């Protein structure tokens, strides 16, 4: 039977992954590894999703790991920076292309932007597919209209700390607040209007609709007033249209015209204006926009249709005067004098669950989680500083050699050979062979314990046995395959984490990254759901 896995499933998976780290039910570690060159150092191969490659080789090449804390994670969305003269996609509740698909990083449309003030805005109306030439600004909880007639909804500001940790060339962080932190985002979340209609999409403009605008000639009372002499002189010409007070005293009120006397240009509206206009009040007469929707919805919807006389009486746009609440479905019809105007088709766009700005994680389709971990120098003598690495990855819930789950903030994953009588410096990445046991490993780093550098700790990876299950033995001589240097083993210690425990959930091959004692590395990885 036909079916789909919705984007909500992917978003929820990303959130559950994030929440599991916060609740400490899952312990994640990032790791570095692989000291040997790729076949092509300039173009590392993509790892294959096989047990041998991702799990076994991942552990064999592992050098060190650092635990991922909840503060090291954020859900992220593709980064779309606002650019002048760009056409942006307006939000709709019926679009299937607003969000990335399961097989693509970016969606085919851009319905939100990041500005240079690190504010994120959602496009509510794009001026009939026009280009944005005015950058949105401000943090108002209301819809923001710019001079290019775009309408935007401010969602949140990326804090300086989050920008430093979770910005990349391709992604920006996003979160939904659960408590008042005094930010503009919290104000937007709490002011969001569930089921409001902020935009009506016109799919056919129609023709022959009437409009007129000016200031009033005179005011008889709160229901009856006289239009200026540019108004039509035919009786009932504007009957069943709307009268909107656009500027001045009483501005913002909308009423339906029930009678129009052409000879005197007198209009009578269905309900008295709460605040009566005066002769300085601006007005607009246009077709009546009728919106019907859910029986459970509250707050009557009111909208104003703008007619272009230059375009044969076409309805060019519809502006909401009252957006309503709690609508899940609605339809629109345009009513005016039956002799004038027809053919306009429009669809109301219903806000997402909770309203625009209520839940940015859901609204912007945050199906990816970024891990951002900083490695500082040797990390308490855990991360080697005189070799390079070419692989990074994530392992979940690894076990210590004694059995319990790993919990330390940093873990050395090299085996350690304590040696005496070292005859000289070993060569990076060479093979170390036990003269008696036949065990082999790959050299990573030497830490001397005397000034003569004849004693110390040799850190190695990829320890292989002699085929009988044995490994290096105390007292035997080891030899470097390239340097030819020798040493005597005083002790041999396996890594703290037991090999092949937990699950390696992500690996990535990179070009060589050399390390140094004073070096900082910000390792950022994006897990895509």
- 280-311 pLDDT, tens digit each: 999 999 999 999 888 666 667 899 999 987 67
Give the list of residues 6+ apart from residue 423 with CB closer than 8 angstroms, or none.
454, 485, 486, 487
**Residues 344 and 424 grouped into a single domain:** no
**Residues 203 and 295 grouped into a single domain:** yes
Mean pLDDT of 451-472: 86
**Residues 204 and 338 grouped into a single domain:** yes
Give the Cα separation of 154 and 521 in Å (integer): 34
DSSP single-letter state for residue 55: I
pLDDT, residue 289, reads 94
pLDDT, residue 76, reads 96
Mean pLDDT of 434-452: 94
* CB 49 within 8 Å of CB 56: no
* pLDDT at 105 > cutoff 70: no
For residue 471, being part of any structural domain is answered with yes
* pLDDT at 90 > cutoff 90: yes
For residue 401, being part of any structural domain is answered with no
**Residues 209 and 346 grouped into a single domain:** yes
* pLDDT at 335 > cutoff 50: yes
* CB 168 within 8 Å of CB 79: yes
* pLDDT at 409 > cutoff 90: yes
The residue among 323, 350, 377 that closes a domain is 350
* CB 529 within 8 Å of CB 405: no
Give the Cα separation of 507 and 395 in Å (integer): 9
* CB 213 within 8 Å of CB 227: no
pLDDT, residue 25, reads 78
For residue 451, being part of any structural domain is answered with yes
**Higher per-residue confidence, 430 vs 16:** 430
Of 155-169, 182-196, 289-303, the one with minimum mean pLDDT is 289-303
pLDDT, residue 303, reads 94
The residue among 331, 350, 369 that closes a domain is 350
- Locate 525 and state its tokens: 């990885």
Closest CA to 206 of 332, 368, 112: 332
Mean pLDDT of 413-438: 95
Mean pLDDT of 163-189: 96
pLDDT, residue 449, reads 95
Neighbour count for residue 71 (Cβ, 10 Å): 11
3-class SS string, 269-331 = ECCCCCCCCCCCCEEEEEEEEEEEECCCCECCCEEEEEEEHHHCCEEEEEEEEECCECCCCEE
pTM of the model as a whole: 0.86
For residue 482, being part of any structural domain is answered with yes
Neighbour count for residue 13 (Cβ, 10 Å): 15
For residue 111, being part of any structural domain is answered with no
* Model pLDDT for residues 25-36, shown as the tens digit of each residue: 789 999 999 999
For residue 4, being part of any structural domain is answered with no
Mean pLDDT of 339-350: 90
pLDDT, residue 165, reads 96
User: By CB neighbour count within 10 A (0-12 exposed, 13-18 middle, 19+ buried), where does 383 fall?
Assistant: buried
Report residue 109's pLDDT band, with 50, 70 and 90 as the boundaries. Answer: low
Q: Which domain range does residue 467 map to?
A: 414-494
**Residues 458 and 321 grouped into a single domain:** no
* Model pLDDT for residues 45-82, shown as the tens digit of each residue: 998 888 888 888 889 999 999 999 999 999 999 999 99
* CB 151 within 8 Å of CB 144: yes
Q: Which residues pair with 121 in a beta bridge?
A: 113, 154
* pLDDT at 460 > cutoff 50: yes
pLDDT, residue 98, reads 75
* CB 173 within 8 Å of CB 167: yes
**Residues 338 and 201 grouped into a single domain:** yes
Number of domains in the chain: 2
* pLDDT at 102 > cutoff 50: no
**Residues 324 and 452 grouped into a single domain:** no
For residue 332, being part of any structural domain is answered with yes
**Higher per-residue confidence, 19 vs 475:** 475
Backbone dihedral region of 313: left (phi > 0), alpha (psi from -120 to 50 degrees) or beta?
A: left
pLDDT, residue 135, reads 98
* Average pLDDT of the chain to the nearest whole number: 91
**Higher per-residue confidence, 309 vs 241:** 241
Rg of the Cα atoms in the chain: 34
Biggest alpha carbon–alpha carbon distance for the chain: 117
**Residues 342 and 419 grouped into a single domain:** no
Report residue 101's pLDDT band, with 50, 70 and 90 as the boundaries. Answer: low
pLDDT, residue 106, reads 41
The residue among 301, 322, 350 that closes a domain is 350
pLDDT, residue 103, reads 42
For residue 125, being part of any structural domain is answered with no
Give the list of residues 6+ apart from residue 330 with CB closer than 8 angstroms, or none.
197, 291, 292, 293, 294, 297, 301, 348, 350
**Residues 323 and 450 grouped into a single domain:** no
**Residues 346 and 418 grouped into a single domain:** no
Give the Cα separation of 345 and 328 in Å (integer): 20
Report residue 10's pLDDT band, with 50, 70 and 90 as the boundaries. Answer: confident
DSSP single-letter state for residue 182: S
**Residues 206 and 299 grouped into a single domain:** yes
Percent of the chain with pLDDT over 90: 76
* pLDDT at 12 > cutoff 70: yes
Give the Cα separation of 152 and 62 in Å (integer): 48
DSSP track, 370-422 = EEEEEEETTTTTTS-SSSEEEEEEEEES-BBTTSSBP--SEEE-SEEEEEES-
* pLDDT at 321 > cutoff 80: yes
């Amino acid at each position: 039977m036909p079916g789909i896995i919705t984007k909500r499933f992917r978003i929820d998976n990303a959130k559950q992954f994030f929440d599991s780290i916060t609740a400490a039910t899952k312990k994640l570690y990032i790791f570095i590894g692989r000291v040997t060159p790729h076949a092509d150092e300039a173009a590392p191969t993509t790892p294959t999703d096989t047990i041998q490659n991702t799990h076994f080789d991942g552990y064999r090449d592992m050098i060190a790991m650092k635990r991922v804390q909840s503060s090291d994670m954020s859900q992220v969305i593709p980064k779309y920076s606002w650019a002048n003269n760009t056409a942006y996609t307006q939000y709709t509740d019926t679009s299937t292309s607003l969000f990335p698909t399961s097989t693509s990083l970016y969606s085919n449309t851009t319905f939100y932007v990041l500005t240079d003030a690190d504010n994120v805005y959602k496009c509510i109306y794009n001026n009939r597919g026009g280009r944005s030439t005015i950058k949105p600004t401000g943090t108002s909880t209301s819809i923001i209209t710019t001079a290019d007639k775009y309408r935007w909804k401010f969602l949140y500001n990326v804090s300086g700390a989050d920008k430093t940790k979770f910005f990349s060339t391709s992604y920006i962080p996003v979160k939904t607040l659960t408590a008042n932190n005094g930010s503009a985002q919290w104000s937007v979340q709490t002011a969001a209007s569930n089921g409001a209609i902020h935009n009506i999409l016109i799919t056919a403009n129609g023709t022959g609709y009437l409009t007129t605008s000016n200031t009033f000639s005179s005011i008889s009372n709160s229901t009856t007033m006289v239009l200026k002499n540019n108004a039509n002189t035919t009786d009932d010409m504007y009957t069943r249209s709307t009268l909107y007070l656009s500027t001045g005293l009483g501005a913002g009120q909308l009423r339906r015209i029930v009678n129009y006397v052409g000879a005197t240009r007198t209009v009578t509206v269905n309900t008295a204006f709460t605040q009566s206009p005066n002769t300085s009040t601006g007005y607009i007469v246009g077709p009546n926009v009728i919106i019907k929707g859910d029986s459970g919805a509250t707050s009557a919807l009111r909208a104003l249709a703008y007619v272009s006389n230059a375009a044969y009486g076409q309805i060019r746009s519809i502006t909401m005067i009252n957006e309503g609440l709690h609508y899940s479905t609605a339809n629109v019809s345009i009513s005016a004098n039956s002799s004038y105007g027809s053919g306009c088709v429009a669809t109301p766009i219903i806000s997402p669950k909770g309203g625009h700005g209520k839940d940015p994680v859901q609204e912007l389709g945050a199906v990816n989680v970024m891990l951002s971990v900083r490695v500082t120098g040797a990390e308490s003598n855990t991360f080697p500083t005189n070799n390079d690495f070419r692989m990074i990855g994530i392992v979940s819930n690894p076990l210590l050699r004694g059995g319990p789950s790993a919990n330390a903030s940093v873990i050395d994953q090299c085996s350690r050979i304590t040696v005496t009588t070292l005859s000289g410096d070993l060569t990076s990445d060479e093979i170390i062979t036990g003269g008696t046991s036949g065990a082999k490993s790959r050299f990573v780093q030497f830490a001397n314990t005397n000034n003569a550098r004849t004693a110390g700790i040799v850190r190695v990876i990829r320890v292989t046995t002699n085929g009988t299950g044995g490994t290096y033995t105390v007292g035997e001589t080891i030899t470097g395959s390239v340097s030819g240097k020798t040493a005597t083993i005083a002790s041999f210690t396996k890594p703290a984490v037991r090999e092949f425990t937990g699950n390696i959930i992500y690996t990535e091959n990179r070009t060589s990254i050399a390390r140094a004692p004073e070096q900082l590395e910000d390792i950022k990885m994006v897990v895509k759901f």
